[in-house]
Amino acid sequence: MVVELRGERPPPDPMALLLAGQRSAIRICIRDPRWTWIVTEALVSTADEVATGQRTLLSATDAVPPGSAVIADLGSTVLSVPTEPAPAG
């Protein structure tokens, strides 16, 4: 599962989701390589994962893109599957 973070002030915290993936042996990784300053490179998506992995969004409850399917309501954040195309790069 390739997680994109939506929100700027502050961005959603993906740590609990990443840890849950590690504990359950499900590959969950962050799409944005800038997160290597806070997580290890092992938790950042590779180019192949970005190209072929299941794209999900972690966003504030009020920032879920229209048409996205919410798969988990986590209180102040929501995990969803977007209908919009992935950003380039």
Antiparallel, parallel or unpaired: β 77-81 and 69-73: antiparallel
pLDDT at 62: 86
pLDDT at 85: 67
pLDDT tens, per residue, the chain with 89 residues = 999 998 776 778 898 899 999 999 999 999 999 888 888 899 999 999 999 999 999 998 888 888 899 999 988 889 999 887 666 65
Q: What is the pTM of this model?
A: 0.84
What does the CA dihedral 39, 42, 59, 65 come to, rounded to 10 degrees? 150
What is the phi-psi region of residue 55: left when phi exceeds 0, alpha when psi lies from -120 to 50, beta otherwise?
A: beta
